Structure 1
């Protein structure tokens, strides 16, 4: 039975906060007065103003509870019912226009309970409006409900005085069994979500994160809702317990409940038709359109949900877009793309710069004994059309998965690989280095594209978008070891000789560097890549072995060249003084930001000791690491260069550096040519050209290859590199 409580009519608009929850000496308006920062001096109505209001068919339970500014015009308030304390700013005989809709300033045909208004607002046909603070030049039109409760949390996972722990909202990220759940809060960055969800065995760290979150918020009851200056809300049904920043635009939404919608004049947020959003935080610059359903979620700044997308128990990183599809229990780092109605992502940690194709089901939740599986994918993850993956699976950076059903768990540690399910031969096939060999255009273009699309106004976390960075370079080093071991094992099996585990790397290295070795009939098998007895074939191993070494040298050399051009180092001696006292450092991807493990460990220790004692201090650490990232990356690049060349720093001479620069230039030339060639295929393939009657039609549709802006940019970078090599070689001693 519905519990319908009967109250006196004169109670409407009063006792918003019950006496037990009021601080000593405070009234129910004390938080409202703190929240209202308009600076407008309010006064009581004059007798004439009351007369005009009554004549215009307005009612109030107590006209003494209506307060107005000195520029208030009572003629602009018609057919409204007022209850409780209502404060109204300036009303002038003007109209406000937004997106070709023009409406007169004033309050019309609305029920208003205990609200504050800034200057020159439009409030028209708001059926029920309660306990809101409205900024200046706000438009509210055709809204069924706009109200807050005295225990509003605005999407934060907190509890108010007198509430039970059971009402707290959690985000159940990365895993469906809630074992990685976190408490959402305004300002949560991808790195915060990753740290909290990942390091569960560190009980003290978990405790600290909860403490950080709890102390961010006041547990008092009685906070009002807010609609910031110049925000427009129209044709929307239910808005309950929602905080809206300035310059937001909300139109045609069905239901918005327990949300913060951050928005500002530099990065306005928008919510469109048919959306239903509950228990979430939407950050500045976000777009949510056309039938989106989202429950228990965070959208980082400048992310988008469109065309019926479903986002549940998930964190969506900055500059990411999800359309049409369904995403559950996932943590998604910045720069993610997922555009197709029949794709599905569940219980996954996707580390950014990713693209989920149509028909991809990443982590079906009905293929194991319990809902406790996970998918972990390094940045650049790209499952192709109709790819089906099983929990648990893990992928190195820039893994491309070809169409197919992968019925067994996968663990792919080699970056830049193409994964194929060869059903006819009942085998898994892994081609390392695929992107560089066959689609350099897409790899390089995406790197630049993500930089251009990074619209964050406050870049607290330094996000790495280059495909050659400390994380991928380290994965390449690990892959080189695997190439050597697996090649040696394959050789012994081909020869029928005894395998000596201790000498596999040495033997494999000799084979891979022997240009006279006969590879005919040699099948290189990887182990531990698939949870199945069928073989995993590594193909083009020698090519990948040489390619990865070349790319590591290119990375190290270009980082040194960049540091010289930036004036960071000015001589060979200064290069030799770059800190290489430690081995090549391991790195972690924390929400898209790469951190040296040494700094990360110090950071965790600082949290344990409470020297980092708040989320603001955590974010300060992110900024500090961002400021030193180039120096840390340079150290890593130089260490990588010495390691791949087998040199000590004393053995690194000017002649060697000159040779490396020439090789790096040749590598850049190869990359640019490869970029051109991979794009040129679209102009040369008969199957690509067959839809056009002639060359002219094709050019009109897809443009001239020579006019491709990205290719031109790469060619310009090549010319600049040529000039840099000449300049450095002539001046660097």
Structure 2
């Protein structure tokens, strides 16, 4: 039975906060007065204004509780019902226009309960507007309900005074059984979500994370919802307990409940038709359109949900896009792409620069009696068409999976690999180094693309997009240890086991090529970082340059913390400082990210130097000017080879007869897809190669002095 309570009508708009939760000497408006930062001076209505309002079919339970500014025009308020304390800013004879929506300034055909309304706003046909503070030049038309409750949390994982703990909203990342759950909060970065979900055996650390979150927010009851300046809301149904920033655009949404929608003049957020969002945080500059469903979620800045996407119990990193498909219980680092209605992602940790193809079902097949599986994938994870994976599986960075139904759990430690399921022979085939051998164009272009499309204006975490970085270099070393123990046959194929939870044959192909390639990539990485260090600091001699190199010869371990690479030693220090109380808040954790970002190029250079010494089996004493010159010449050869591979991997699309057959002539093909010679990215890479050769010549001269 629905419990319908009856109250006296003259109480409508009052007693927003229960008496026991109002501090002594305060009234129910004390938090509202703190929230309303406008400098407007309000006054009571005069008798002529009241007469005008009544004539225009407005009603109020108490006209003495309607306060207005000095530039209030009563003629611009028509057919409205007012209850409780309402404060109205300037209303002047203008109309506002946004995207062909033209509305006269004023309040029309609406029910308004205990609200503060900014200057020159347009409100028309809002059936129920309750307990909101609305900024200046806001446009709201045709909305069923905009309301805030006394226990509003605006998507944050808190509870208010008097609430039971079980009402707290958690976000269950990476695992369906809630074993890695975290509290969502406004301002949560990918690194925060990762640390909280990862270090589950450290109870003291987890308690601190919860404390940091709770201290960010006030647990008192009675906060009003807010709608920032210049926000436009039209044709929506229910907006309840939602905090909305400035310059947001909401059109046609079905239901928005318990949310924070961050938006400002430079980073406008938009929510479109048919969307239903509950219990979440929307970051700055986000786009959410066309029937999206999201529940218990955080969207980091400049991420997108489109075309019926479902995002449940998940964190979506910056500059990521999910369209059509379903994502459950996942933690996704920045620069993720997923565009297909028939792709599914569940209980997974994807560490950035990932791409989900159509038909991929990642983690959809449970192979135990409980939903306790997980998939962990390093940067650059790319499951191909109709790939099906089982929990638990783990992948090194830049793994691409060929189309297929993989029958069992996988553990692939080789970066840059192609993983294939050869059904005809019942063999798992792994090709380490595939990207460099056959798809250099995509590898290089993606690195450029992700950096070019990073729209963040507040770059607290420095994201690494280069495919050769401390994390992948360390994986190359680990892979080399395995590859050098294998005994390939004359065709370069080694048979092994341990990388799939089956007894069937596993083939590692092109073992010799991969071994040579991985060593060359480590050398190239080390040389390029040292060259960058030399150029950045404008050293005049090799001796001056070498004095700045670390005396350490131990290669450091690195972790991917939400897309930012940080040394493990620094992370251990951070955790100790958090538990000891030296780091006292999420803001101080974010300051740690910033500091690590400032130090990153230096630390990366030291890592590159030690990696170079290790792969070349030399000591710092053996690293001489002549040795460095020789490395630079080898780097020119490597970059020349890479540039050639970039061209040839793209050229295959123009020479493949099955790609050409849909065009009558080469001219038609070039008109449709663009000519190979005019490819701007290839031209860009050729230009960079020429510049690199000139730089090496210039540096070589200085080194010979």
Pairwise TM-score range, normalised by the shorter structure:
over 0.9
Q: Structure 1 residues 379, 568: CA separation in 2 closer, same or farther (over 3 Å shift)?
A: farther
Name the counterpart of 2:530. 560
Q: How far 1:682 moved relative to its partner?
A: 1.2
What does 1:506-525 correspond to in 2, within 5 Å? 519-520=489-490, 523-525=493-495
Secondary structure of the structure 1 residue equivalent to 2:133: strand
Q: Structure 1 residues 179, 587: CA separation in 2 closer, same or farther (over 3 Å shift)?
A: same
Gaps of 5+ in 1: 491-518
- Pair 1:598 & 2:569 matched: yes
- Pair 1:551 & 2:521 matched: yes
Name the counterpart of 1:671. 642
- Pair 1:722 & 2:693 matched: yes
Q: How far 1:607 moved relative to its partner?
A: 0.8
| TM-score after normalising by structure 1 | 0.95
Secondary structure of the structure 2 residue equivalent to 1:556: helix
Secondary structure of the structure 2 residue equivalent to 1:460: coil
- Pair 1:215 & 2:215 matched: yes
CA deviation profile, 1:35-61 (whole Å, cap 9, x unmatched) = 111111111001110000000000000
Q: How far 1:521 moved relative to its partner?
A: 6.3
CA deviation profile, 1:321-364 (whole Å, cap 9, x unmatched) = 00000000000000000000000000000000000000000001
Name the counterpart of 1:626. 597
What does 1:695-714 correspond to in 2, within 5 Å? 695-714=666-685
C-alpha separation in 1, matches of 2:451 and 2:673 = 24
Q: How far 1:381 moved relative to its partner?
A: 0.1
C-alpha separation in 1, matches of 2:40 and 2:546 = 62
| TM-score after normalising by structure 2 | 0.99
CA deviation profile, 1:267-287 (whole Å, cap 9, x unmatched) = 000000000000000010000
Name the counterpart of 1:169. 169
Secondary structure of the structure 2 residue equivalent to 1:441: helix
How many pairs were matched up? Answer: 703
- Pair 1:680 & 2:651 matched: yes
Q: How far 1:568 moved relative to its partner?
A: 6.3
C-alpha separation in 1, matches of 2:583 and 2:699 = 43
What does 1:222-241 correspond to in 2, within 5 Å? 222-241=222-241
Secondary structure of the structure 1 residue equivalent to 2:342: coil
- Pair 1:581 & 2:565 matched: no
Name the counterpart of 1:40. 40
C-alpha separation in 1, matches of 2:206 and 2:426 = 44
CA deviation profile, 1:449-473 (whole Å, cap 9, x unmatched) = 0001100110000000000000000
Deviates more, 1:63-72 or 1:711-720: 711-720
CA deviation profile, 1:671-725 (whole Å, cap 9, x unmatched) = 1110011111111111111111112211111112111111111111101100110
Name the counterpart of 1:297. 297
CA deviation profile, 1:261-309 (whole Å, cap 9, x unmatched) = 0000000000000000000000100000000000000000000000000
Candidates 578, 591, 595, aligned match of 1:607:
578
Secondary structure of the structure 1 residue equivalent to 2:171: coil
Task: Answer whether contact 1:144 1:237 (CA < 8 A) is retained.
Answer: yes
After TM superposition, where is structure 1 displaced by more than 6 Å over at least 4 residues in a row? none
Name the counterpart of 1:188. 188
C-alpha separation in 2, matches of 1:602 and 1:672 = 41
Q: How far 1:522 moved relative to its partner?
A: 6.5
Name the counterpart of 1:459. 459
Q: How far 1:369 moved relative to its partner?
A: 2.0
What does 1:419-458 correspond to in 2, within 5 Å? 419-458=419-458
What does 1:299-448 correspond to in 2, within 5 Å? 299-448=299-448
Q: Structure 1 residues 346, 570: CA separation in 2 closer, same or farther (over 3 Å shift)?
A: farther
Name the counterpart of 2:498. 528
Secondary structure of the structure 2 residue equivalent to 1:188: coil
Q: Structure 1 residues 81, 650: CA separation in 2 closer, same or farther (over 3 Å shift)?
A: same
Task: Answer whether contact 1:576 1:652 (CA < 8 A) is retained.
Answer: no
